[in-house]
Structure formats: C-alpha cells, structure tokens
Amino acid sequence: MTVSRFAVVALLAVGIGVSAGCASSQPARTRTQAAAPRALPPARLYQETLQPVQVNLDELRFVGMDDGPVPDFDLRSIDGQRFRSNDLVGEQAFVVVFFATWCHMCDLKMPLLRAALDAVGPLTVIGIAVDDAETFRAVPGYVQRHGLRFPIVRAIDHPLFNISYNPFSTVPLVVVVGRNGGLVDYQMGYAPNDRERLIAAVRLARRIGPLAHPRG
C-alpha cells in the first residue's frame, strides 16, 4: 500500500466521521472546510473542522481494511524503544496517537484516550509528539500530567511516517490498525464519545480476518 493510497483511505474514514482538531500551522477555518494535506511545520494554532457523527465501525472496515496494509515504518522513541512495521503490521493490532502540548483539544482528548486504553487491556500504543524544538521540552511534563503510559516518538525525527499516517497534519489524531495490518479507524479531533469509539475500534482491530490483498 503506497503512502498516497493510505492517505485516500484515511480521507474516506475521516469523511465518515470527523471531530474538532488542532491544525498544524494554519489560521482557523470555517467548520465546513477540512484541513488540507501538507507537511508538518511547527505551530500552535487551534482549528475546528467538522462536527462529529456516529460511526459504524463494522462498515468502516470496508473503507480500507481490504485495500492493503498500512505504510512501512521504523521508529525510535525518545527512550530508545524501536517500533518497526515488520514486527507489528499484520502481526498484532496497534494504535498511533498524534498530539501536541500546545493543542487544547489534545488536553480534552487525553483523559478519554487513557480511559479507553485502560479498558481494552495490553496493547501496543505509539505516541507521536508533533511539538517543534521549542515546545518539545514540555512533552515530559505533559506526559506525566496526563498519565500517559506509552512511549513517545518525536515527529520531526520521522517526517515520512508523519506525512504517511497524518496527511492532514492535525492533532489530536488516533490511528487504529488491525491485526491484519489494515486501517480500522482514523479518529481525528475530539468528541465526547471518543472513549467508546476507541474501545470498539480496538476490539474490532483484534478480531478481524486477513486482508484481501496481503503484503506480497
């Protein structure tokens, strides 16, 4: 699955259900405008996008699950842990969380995220901090304040991964990848029902079958 195809699948998923999020670097748009795909520059501006809608996760599966596995990656967290697509994609369900210390919606999202992760049990979660060099110093305190217990990767150290998995350059963003390596849910922004949605997405990610077009 190419980077561009993954972006299209993500766009379809977002079209099914999008909530408010923080833009990477652009001034606030109207609610009817979606963030344009672009590279990730440093920023601290807040942006609202579309209002959240209900999502049927079993239907969402057919948006991208049979379109091939998610893009390859090789990441290192700030504490030295390594995460490779060869070890994860097609082997187990996992979650990628994009956030920033300057994002107000991230502050609202993190308690729901933490509650959902507590409910689903052991799961590989990779946190991606999109802070720039100036604000990244606040990341350790942010992680401690929100009780986040997953490793943190610095986005600017892995630009290709950031563009591949977050083509809209927005936070907060939660990407749920299934046991078969396909995209299950693309949860952009914040909504009050995010805890329940993430729990349902992870449960689906763990039980789904093989892809129609596995990695060759």
Is there a cis peptide before residue 69, judged by omega within 30 degrees of 0?
A: no
Nearest to 197 by CA among 30, 19, 33, 27: 19
Supply the pTM of this predicted model: 0.73
User: Who has greater pLDDT, 77 or 15?
Assistant: 77
> What would the pLDDT profile of 151-184 be if each residue is shown by its tens digit?
999 999 998 888 888 888 899 999 999 988 888 8
The share of the chain scoring above pLDDT 90, in percent, equals 50
pLDDT at 55 over 80: no
- pLDDT of amino acid 173: 95
- pLDDT of amino acid 32: 31
H helices present in the chain, as ranges: 3-16, 57-64, 85-88, 104-120, 139-145, 159-165, 194-207
Architecture of the domain spanning 3-207: 3-Layer(aba) Sandwich (3.40)
Helical (H) or strand (E) element with 188 = strand 183-188
> What would the pLDDT profile of 110-132 be if each residue is shown by its tens digit?
999 999 999 999 999 999 999 99
